[in-house]
Amino acid sequence: MNFLAIETSCDETSVAIFTDDLQIRANLVASQTDLHARFKGVVPELAARAHLQRLLPLVDEALRQANLKLADIGCIAVLNTPGLVGALLVGVSAAKMLALALEAPLVSANHIEAHIYACRMVAGRDIFPCVGLVVSGGHTSLFHCHSALQFELLGATIDDAAGEAFDKVAALLGLGFPGGPAVEREAKGGDPAAYSLPRSFLHQDRLSFSFSGLKTAVLYALHGKNVAEGPAPPAGKTRTDLAASFQQAVVDVLVAKCRQALQKTGLARLAVGGGVAANQQLRAGLEAMTRAEGAELFIPPMTLCTDNAAMAAIAVEKWRHGMFAPAELDAVATYQGSA
């Protein structure tokens, strides 16, 4: 049984084909990074238009790679929430059209929960129940994942997401967009203790995150207090040390909150997804922490950490339970629990 899945929540158009036993036959991602780079962030209207141009050619290419015809597809899956509503709508509309034309069932899934499910796909075995951490450009959330179909939110960021902080600090340091990989590259060789930056809620019991103060602290470290903005620092020690200190502050908080979540829930498995999970420093920190806690760590390889349609295979679980999407399925911008 072949599933065709669509992801258009932000600035990556992605189409995947996978089977009901979770074998990935194609997972194509058309990135829009170049389109948005000069604006230093994703422009929603441009993203939606680019999805419209790229989606159907990507469907054709995925079928070609999987050596299948449209008629071989038995189910359509779409990530319909959360994300930029105009961007999501392109994927939702295309998915509905394909399901209708193929007389195939349509299954919707939640983008955030799908990031965790990428860990299940890679593990090749059940990973539930587990603690789930999603760290992306739009979200920093901890879950008690009771099963693939039951996610309980334990806590989330009260302001910026971790990836958003990486992107904003990259802009302050003149490192370009997207910021995560650029800050990580710059941080190599830097002193992570050079600047003392805030680690919000680190010693508090609550499983919440806050990264906007950290971003402001980087701004003050660069230009002094009460300076709104100034020129980016040139390449050199200041920039490298600030990048390393910032990255260390984010990693410390994420690792500490995951440890707290494991201890609070009594679970012995941690599954991590989202673009920031591609960060080597974070991966190393989580590996050391889970080893010390006697817990298992699941993090997908880079290509399944960042946005992709293969993670929509969480739809296979819903399909098994006959949880099909209604014909009036809509795109929903904010996270409101399982789609």
**Residue whose CB is less far from ligand KG4, 75 or 309:** 309
Three-class secondary structure of residue 2 per DSSP = strand
Binding site partner of 181, from ligand KG4, Zn ion, none, Cβ cut-off 5-8 A by kind: ligand KG4
How near is the Cβ of 221 to Zn ion at its closest, in Å? 29
Bond into 301 cis (ω within 30): no
**Residue whose CB is less far from ligand KG4, 138 or 155:** 138
Q: At what angle do helices 212-223 and 162-172 cross, to 10 degrees?
A: 10
How near is the Cβ of 163 to ligand KG4 at its closest, in Å? 3
- Residue 113 within binding range of Zn ion, rule CB under 5 A: no
- Residue 136 within binding range of Zn ion, rule CB under 5 A: yes
C-alpha closest to that of 98 among 121, 69, 64: 69
How near is the Cβ of 166 to ligand KG4 at its closest, in Å? 4
CA distance 169 to 90: 31
Binder to Zn ion among 108, 307, 317, 339 (CB under 5 A)?
307
Length of the chain: 339
Binding site partner of 197, from ligand KG4, Zn ion, none, Cβ cut-off 5-8 A by kind: none
Burial label for 179, CB within 10 Å (0-12, 13-18, 19+), is buried
Chain residues binding ligand KG4 by CB under 6 A are: 10, 136-138, 163-164, 166-167, 178-181, 184, 274-276, 278-279, 306-307
Binding site partner of 300, from ligand KG4, Zn ion, none, Cβ cut-off 5-8 A by kind: none
CA distance 314 to 5: 10
- Report, in angstroms and rounded to the nearest whole number, the Rg of the chain calculated over CA atoms: 20
How near is the Cβ of 71 to ligand KG4 at its closest, in Å? 32
Contacts to Zn ion by CB under 5 A? 136, 307
